[in-house]
Structure 1
Amino acid sequence: MIILEDISLRRGAKLLMQGASATLQPGQKIALIGANGAGKSSLFALLMGHLSSDSGDIRGMSSLRVAHMAQELESSDETALNFVLGGDAEVFRLTQEIAKVEAAENYERAAYLYQELETVDGYSAPRRAEQLLLGLGFNQTELNNAVTDFSGGWRVRLNLARALMTPSDVLLLDEPTNHLDLDTMLWLQLWLMRYDGTLVMISHDRDFIDAICERTFSLEQGQLVSYRGGYSDFELQRAERMAQQQAQVARQQREREHIEDFVRRFRAKASKAKQAQSRIKALERMETVAPAHADSPFYFQFPEPGKSSDPLLSIDEMTLGYGEETVLSHVSFSLHPGDRIGLLGKNGAGKSTLLKGLTGVLPAQSGRRVSGAHLRIGYFDQQQLEVLDLEASPLLHLQRLRPNAREQVIFDFLGGFNFKGERAKEVIGPFSGGEKARLALAMVVWQDPNVLILDEPT
């Protein structure tokens, strides 16, 4: 059992948690949700011992093996298979040592190490690592490719496979479904449902949470509020709790007004003075029930697209690829005002390639791309986060895009994306990944597009 008791945590000037408490039972599968910047990743860092709380205690973690999916993208010359095998540190250490002693012809030591390897189920490790990679969408021919050969999204999958390979009592996953196609998400869902340890998962995918999690922890107003079930259950229970709290506030307000009216009418009367004094004391003892308060949602809207041509964009017999390699051939279609188009396909099928071809970022190998007279494309993909200036504020990012815009107009716009007041002036380096993604989306909207091309916007 893991117990978090009265945890308070501040990052810089921001108070993330104050007096937060929760209990994690062995084998539970828990979703951790909350607004961007609420402290979800910081809570993971606390559980791993990478951060210390300002006050409070975490009990029950010292004897547990913890596996965590790293968010940073490893640069390594190791093969994909060996990188994932490295998740089981003991097996990897033994295999490396066996190779050394056999090279030195120390066969007595090698025999002892082979016995150790059998004890930790090391003989099955390469097969288990291979199954993880294949389940996460890698081809058999890619297993011996170097980690550096893979793009960012595939390296995220390698990090996930390495975390799943790590023997653990507690598994911490931060947005594990990012960069996964539907088939791979289903495979991961089934794998996690079979996992015997305690799972804590940060995710914004309600269907994924509903399928796996039996409890949801929500970071609200610096507290960890526990709900039974997945995300859909959380929504129902939170609405019910807030309605009950609001009704309690209304009842208390009516009671307070009734007592205050009695005191006002009878305080000066000698026959009622004692009763009035007693009720004054009752008012003083009355604990105020706080009004129900949800974390402030944010709202934004796209500006009217203005003048548009029809079609906005056409491609005709377009072939797209990289260098000598062709990914898509003979693609033809048009985009018209008001179209809403979803693009599905397995990873590696060419979805991002097609979107880059539509934007013109990737020149066609053959065929035509014809832009309408008033085409303005807003293009969002996860790689945009890598070009954000970590030393600049949200305000400065938008000023660079439109230098003549009035500062108050920019503040009002950023407020719609929940960068309010001083937050709009802070450098974005310490922002959470979700907040940076929200800023990247705000920059797209700020450029007043009439065609939106979104690659994994959520």
Structure 2
Amino acid sequence: MITLRNVTLRRGAKVVLDAVSATINPGEKVGLVGRNGAGKSSLFGLLDGSLHEDAGEFNVPAQWRLGQVAQHMPETDEGATAFVLAGDTRLMEVRAALTAAEEANDGMAIAHAHADLADAGEHDAVPRAQTLILGLGFQVHELDQPVNSFSGGWRMRLQLARALMAPSDLLLLDEPTNHLDLDALVWLEGWLQRYAGTLLVISHDREFLDAVTNVTLHIERQKLTRYGGNYSAFETLRAQQLELQQASFSKQQEKIAHLQKFIDRFKAKASKAKQAQSRVKALERIERIAPVLADAEFSFEFKEPANLPNPMLAISDAVLGYGEKVILRSVNRSVLAGQRIGILGANGQGKSTLVKTIAREIPALAGTLTEGKGLHIGYFAQQELDVLSQESNPLEHMIRLARDVGPEAREQELRNFLGSFNFTGDMVQQAVGTMSGGEKARLVLAMIVWQRPNLLLLDEPTNHLDLATREALSIALNEFEGTVLLVSHDRSLLRSVCDEFWLVGRGEVKPFDGDLDDYQKYLLEESRRLREAARVAAATPAPTAAPAVNPQALRKADAATRQQLAARTKPLKKELAQVEARMAQLNAEKAALEQDLSGTLPPDAIADAGRRLKAALQALEQAEERWLELSGEIERIEAA
């Protein structure tokens, strides 16, 4: 297990952790939460060995293998599959040993290397790597494309796949969802739920944390507090804890005031001096309870739109894309005043193309877009953070905006406005290039709010926002009187803001009849459909002239084929059903053990439950692997 005992950690002169203690048991999945700058990444540095404690005792089992996403952007012409495969360092070492043995013509070493390769999973290494790549949203034809041919966000997905490929006992993930869309996010959740090792994850996506974690570590004011349960459980427990602390503090303050009043009243009277002195000593002995010092919550609101045209926008028979590349056809949609629309769809299907066309960033290739009179669009795009002038400061950005777009304002008014977005004091003069991603995102939001739009187009607005700012954005959008079109992988934001959805996929835009849970089921079905289409395309031979066929003979041949197929697949399907039953049993056992671990157990019971949970997870992983093998074998037989 991982243990911290009275650990103090400094970054320069700043104390990040002050005499903290915590224990992380094998197999636990831990969410690390706290405000930006609280020290979450510093704790990761302690765990991966890049930082060292300044005081106290810190221990990670020496035999544990560490998995972590490299933060640098990969620059290589290596193919995507080969790049991800190289994440399995053990496999790469054994392959190198085999090559060396073959060059030395050492028969014994060659035999040992082949045995080691089998132990390292050589037989299914490439399929495992490609499963990770496809799960994170890549297409089949991209499996062997050079890494450098992908954009930055896709290359970071390959870094994530490479980290997942590496065998590990401890996996550290710092904001793994930032470069993912919703379909890849759902896949990653499933993968992490099956991960058998110990997981620590930093994320500002509450639904992701709820799905993959069963323990929460909270960093606040240099202290580290452990809570049993996922993020929602943590919020509930912390609220109860703060309420109890405040009640105890208030009660203690009343007692102190009562003692102090007696001392002040009687300390000068000789007849009461002894009693007064005893109360002074009692006052000194009281261990003071700290008051609840709530952090100032960030909040903002969108200004009331000057007008609300209805309909705001009408799209008729539109063809959308770039240049000669058509992405969406026959788009016929209307946007009405007050609608809150979530735009869903797998990556690359055209969500951003649709939003950019509505935002006037790119023209429609055909058809018409009719805007309502007085339409005023506020557009937040991921690349907007890069469009900000890196040398300019927030105040200069606002002065230019007020001059070029309006409304005009005095400098003090602009300073006050920036202050409402937490740009206070010298921060209004800080160069944007030195700011964090979250600060840049807040500046873009401030600039949109200033323009007083009646239609908000938001394309992944939460990527750099912490949980508090995401909550503020959700509240502001719900109070906004205009119309919202939202693209986001943050399901909590989508659930709280949107009351209808559009689905972008297969070259069209249509209403989605369902909620986000239905959409996740749709994603799984779509993934299966694409895999089947790719398998059929790979197995289909080139067309040739077909000879004349006797229909009766064809029917007899089909019947015989079906009988043979049933005979070959029956034992496999029987075993598949047994494996599914075993998986259901293991999932129930896993849920029960996680529930036990989230409660208050004695240390020996915690250790025993942790061992049983790890065994159950390993058995579940083996069962799932067998399920995949059986399913694949049945598919191959049926395809043949």
TM-score relative to the length of structure 2: 0.65
1:356 aligns with 2:391: no
Change (3 A) 1:60 1:92: same
Residue equivalent to 1:270: 270
Query: C-alpha distance in 2, partners of 1:61/1:411?
Result: 52
Residue equivalent to 1:418: 422
Change (3 A) 1:289 1:428: farther
Matches within 5 A, 1:31-430: 31-52=31-52, 56-60=56-60, 62-95=62-95, 113-390=113-390, 392-402=392-402, 405-428=409-432
8 A Cα contact 2:395 2:414, kept in partner: yes
Most deviating of 406-415 and 252-261? 406-415
Shift of 1:443: 3.2
Query: C-alpha distance in 2, partners of 1:411/1:191?
Result: 47
Q: Secondary structure at the match of 2:370?
A: strand
1:453 aligns with 2:457: yes
Shift of 1:259: 0.5
Residue equivalent to 2:600: none
Shift of 1:291: 0.9
Amino acid at match of 2:229: G
Query: C-alpha distance in 2, partners of 1:17/1:435?
Result: 24
Shift of 1:113: 4.1
RMSD (Å) for aligned C-alpha atoms: 2.8
User: Could you report, residue by residue, the CA deviation over 1:326-349 in whole angstroms, capped at 9, with x for unpaired residues?
Assistant: 110121223233221111112222
Shift of 1:388: 4.0
Q: Secondary structure at the match of 2:259?
A: helix
8 A Cα contact 1:216 1:234, kept in partner: yes
Shift of 1:110: 5.8
Q: Secondary structure at the match of 1:187?
A: helix
Query: C-alpha distance in 1, partners of 2:244/2:218?
Result: 18
Q: Secondary structure at the match of 1:382?
A: coil
Change (3 A) 1:57 1:420: farther
Query: C-alpha distance in 2, partners of 1:328/1:50?
Result: 48
User: Could you report, residue by residue, the CA deviation over 1:208-251 in whole angstroms, capped at 9, with x for unpaired residues?
Assistant: 22222111112222322221101111111111100110011111
8 A Cα contact 1:37 1:431, kept in partner: no
Counterpart among 442, 446, 455 of residue 442 in structure 1: 446
Change (3 A) 1:449 1:435: same
Query: C-alpha distance in 1, partners of 2:12/2:434?
Result: 9
Query: C-alpha distance in 1, partners of 2:208/2:200?
Result: 13
Change (3 A) 1:390 1:315: same
Shift of 1:395: 3.7
Shift of 1:368: 2.1
Query: C-alpha distance in 2, partners of 1:46/1:266?
Result: 55
Query: C-alpha distance in 2, partners of 1:23/1:148?
Result: 41
Shift of 1:258: 0.9
Q: Secondary structure at the match of 1:184?
A: helix
Amino acid at match of 2:455: V
Amino acid at match of 2:456: L
Give the structure with higher Rg (CA). Answer: 2
8 A Cα contact 2:252 2:289, kept in partner: yes
8 A Cα contact 2:47 2:60, kept in partner: no
Query: C-alpha distance in 2, partners of 1:59/1:105?
Result: 42
8 A Cα contact 2:94 2:117, kept in partner: yes
Most deviating of 25-34 and 183-192? 183-192
Residue equivalent to 2:558: none
Shift of 1:125: 1.5
Change (3 A) 1:119 1:454: same
Q: Which runs of 5+ in 1 are unaligned?
A: none
Shift of 1:55: 5.0
Shift of 1:175: 2.2
Amino acid at match of 1:200: L
Query: C-alpha distance in 2, partners of 1:199/1:400?
Result: 46
Most deviating of 202-211 and 7-16? 7-16
8 A Cα contact 1:378 1:447, kept in partner: yes
Q: Which runs of 5+ in 2 are unaligned?
A: 463-640
Identity %: 51
How many correspondences in the alignment?
457
8 A Cα contact 1:36 1:435, kept in partner: no
Amino acid at match of 1:2: I
User: Could you report, residue by residue, the CA deviation over 1:96-146 in whole angstroms, capped at 9, with x for unpaired residues?
Assistant: 6756887x6958576654444334223322121112122223222221112
Shift of 1:12: 6.9
Amino acid at match of 2:442: R
Most deviating of 321-330 and 246-255? 321-330
TM-score relative to the length of structure 1: 0.89
8 A Cα contact 2:306 2:452, kept in partner: no
Most deviating of 6-15 and 256-265? 6-15
Bigger proportion of residues as helix: 2
8 A Cα contact 1:242 1:293, kept in partner: no
Shift of 1:6: 4.2
Q: Secondary structure at the match of 1:318?
A: strand
